[in-house]
Amino acid sequence: MNHRVEARLADVLLYGSMAAALIFFYVPIFTLIAFSFQEGRYLTLPFEGFSLKWYGELFRSAPALNALWNSTIIALVATLAATTIGTMAAIVAVRYRFIGKRAFQGLSGAPLAFPQLLLGIVLLLWFSVLGRWFGFNTGIVTAIIGHVVYIAPFAMVIVAVQVYNFDPVLEDAARDCGAGTWDVYRYVTIPILWPGIFSAAIFSFLLSWGNFYLTYSLAGSTRTIPTFIFSGIAIGSSPLYPAIAAVVFVPGILLVILANRMRQRG
């Protein structure tokens, strides 16, 4: 009887914790999305009415569309670079033996524990010095570099999990059949690691897409979605910004679902 009560209590605690986590996470998000459908200009309760006009305002706003474009460019380029670097680093860190391997593994994962705000300030300091030497200003390029520095370790960790489960016998079999080194990587290694690489790319894109601290520090006068929302809310609240958040949130959820399906298929 005691065991049955303990099991019921454990189930209540576990399911209750899961439900509480979902409530605390999703209630603010869905509240924000709900505000995007109100007719009034200010974020107040009760709603003044239901309307889709703020979505129309969003797609007629040149600054908002420009910020959306900048976020897309930065996220796509940073994702491609970070996923490539992370994949190569994961293969080296897991598969190869070399002097200083432990140090390499520790240093390559150090940015995971480094606060974004401090990382942005340090990189801004370096770019300020280099900018004076070589005559350039902060902008999209410096923001991309900062994003790659931050998200490449995340990509490395995700791909490394796939590499750990990789059977090197498959590569040996390809070599026995006459395949060269690049053919082995092209036709055997990369296809088998692809679910992990794809998941790392999706995660990297989302990290870059919604990043505020690094973008705010390194993008200069270039506005992205996070900095555009921040600058707008600093002036005054408006349902336009919840509409932007809703437009950004839905594709992000779809990408997470797609990455999870790819991981399961892999």
DSSP per-residue codes, 89-157 = HHHHHHH---TTHHHHHHHHTGGGGS-HHHHHHHHHHHHHHHHHHHT---SHHHHHHHHHHHHHHHHHH
The string of pLDDT tens digits covering residues 143-181 is 999 999 999 988 998 888 888 877 777 777 877 787 777
Q: Which is more confidently placed, 188 or 47?
A: 188
CB neighbours of residue 194 within 10 Å: 14
CA distance 259 to 198: 7
Number of domains in the chain: 1
Q: Mean pLDDT throughout 112-135?
A: 83
Q: Mean pLDDT over all residues of the chain?
A: 80
Within a domain: 14: no
CA end-to-end span of the chain: 43
Closest CA to 212 of 119, 131, 112: 119
**Residue 238: domain span:** 56-265
Query: Is 249 domain-assigned?
Result: yes
Q: Judge whether 43 lies within some domain.
A: no
Contact 196, 163 (CB under 8 A): yes
What's the whole-number mean pLDDT along residues 90-118?
77
Residue 163 lies in a domain: yes
Distance in angstroms (rounded) separating the CA atoms of residues 91 and 82:
14
Picking from 11-25, 45-59, 73-87, which range would have the lowest pLDDT averaged per residue? 45-59
Which pLDDT band holds residue 25 (cuts at 50, 70, 90)?
confident
- Listed in sequence order, the residues at least 6 apart from 204 whose beta carbon sits closer than 8 Å to its beta carbon are 78, 79, 82, 83, 86, 151, 152, 154, 155
Answer yes or no: is 234 within a domain. yes
Distances 103 to 107, 156, 157 between C-alpha atoms, Å: 6, 15, 15
Instruction: Report whether pLDDT(54) > 80.
Output: no
Whether residue 83 has pLDDT greater than 90: yes
H or E element, residue 35? helix 2-35
Q: Does pTM top 0.95 for this prediction?
A: no
Helix, strand, or coil (residue 225): helix
Is the pLDDT confidence value at 64 over 70?
Answer: yes
Does residue 22 lie within any of the structural domains? no
Check which CATH number belongs to the domain holding 199 and give it: 1.10.3720.10
How many Cα atoms are found within 13 Å in the side-chain-facing hemisphere of 66?
Answer: 9
Give the C-alpha separation, 249 to 225, whole Å: 12
For residue 210, CA distances in Å to 7, 180, 228 come to 41, 41, 11
Say what the pLDDT of residue 104 is: 75
In a domain, 33, yes or no: no
195 inside domain: yes
* pLDDT tens per residue across span 200-241: 898 889 888 888 888 888 888 888 888 887 777 666 566 677
Token pair of 263 as six digits: 């991981």
